[in-house]
Structure 1
Amino acid sequence: MNRTMITATNTMNQLQKQIDMIGNNLANSDTNGYKRKEATFSELLVQQFNNQRNVEAEIGRLTPNGIRQGVGAKLGQAQMILTQGSLKNTNRELDFALTNSKQFFKVLVQDGENNDVRYTRDGAFYISPTGNGEALLVNGSGHPVLDENDNFITFPENVERFNLEGNGEVTVRDRNGTETTFDLGIVQLEKPQFMEQFGGNLIGLPANMQNLGVNEAEIITNIQGAARNGISLSQRMLEASNVDIGKEMTDMLNVQRSYQFQGKSISMADQMMGLVNGIR
């Protein structure tokens, strides 16, 4: 296999990952609070040929000396874009929309035998009765929503009204007029590029933080105490995804053309090799 085929094959493999990423964005264009991902590319290793022994002969050259032959491009980073999505009014008391683009709700997810804290922008919450006269606040997938201290949020089962008081504090009133308050658990992302994306519109901390040279405190901040004054939250509203379908379709066309170009390069290289092999 010649260099042209190697370069094109390497690049096609990476372009396919970008196509998958764009497809995932389009599939989640109607998902509440979904944040699109954007790919950036960088060059693979480049081989340098210094074909000019006399550097003095290259005076006045506008390009760098020598010849550089690359071996394709690679997906350098898949970045999560945190721009704010549009808000839609639902007039439902258990719908909450975060209006600070770096803030996320906390939920607890059971992963095998472990319980892990995950984060989401989807503020569509529901009531799940526990069977002992109390109810649990959960998200659309049934995962418990956590408060600022990572505890379950519970309240009387005969709840009648939810009211957002501010700073993420919610007051619950049951049919007897008894009021219960709880603080929604909210974190702020400091380094979103380190977050790992999971299914169910959830993100979480990477398992290899030590290898990445970061710790949890550098990636996220749990908003507690006086810092909760910085929480920006609206009730009876949900945040739409920040996916621009027009942009994603344009990016898809550009990637497909690049993919076709690489495929054409392989075909042309194969034809040239056939001509060479056919010389007698």
Structure 2
Amino acid sequence: MKNPKFIFVLLFMFISSISLAQEDIVHMLNGDEKKGKVTAVKSEVISFVYSGEDLEYELKKENIHKIDFASGRTEVYNQIQSTSTLPNLNSTTTAAERKNKIAVLPFKIVSNNTALTTEGMMEEVQDATASSIRKNTSQVILQDPSETNAILYENNIGEAEASKLRPAELAQLLGVEFIVLGSAKIDYTGSNSYGSSSTTYKDKENKDRKSSKSSGKENTFSSSSSLENYSTNIMIKIFNDQGKSLYNVDRTGIGTNLDKYESTISYLIKRSPWGSKRK
């Protein structure tokens, strides 16, 4: 007579293999794998339930590489970018050559005003940060932003590619000991309108009398203007060429003018490890 325990183990293994075979596997662009059941495929998202759970999630198609369905069918949504387009990250500089050098990368811009989320605005905030480092720090040598951007361009590194690289890799590629990464959240919050008027008279006598019977001539001028308001938050991170985080801060700017981000950056840089007001 066969051992009942042995039969039970075989039966359990058989049921488990069937259960696993019925799983859908969602492969994400960042390398993650999600196992469970795809319950619906919509225009921009898929509905998904993890194995052993009941809660339904929505996964954006733009973040999915492919889905291996339990039926054996595979559906590809996005190709994973070939690593051949990324730079050869073997550093061409020594630690001694990178010593005390610092580079500022273009800032990531997040805004409800799409006119601001441009390459020009990214580099404008980058330049403001570099300028503040020149004025408000000591003991570090700033790499000019034009040199930084040229190196990134030569190696086909834009915002998306830079986000996939480690801080240490970026620092070594740029030939610096420190890199500054940052983001600016700049939201348009509306506008205020202002108006004014003034009255002039043809001669002083008529002005003094202000008589309706006067033969003098009265001229009234009016003008109006509007002021656009913004809410700004700046985040700055500084890493060294070994990947160690040295500074990680954010601050909401005071005031509503668009260019108030410059004073916020100045405040944060002054309190950085080499800043004039560091503790």
* Superposition TM-score, scaled by structure 2 size: 0.20
Larger Rg: 2
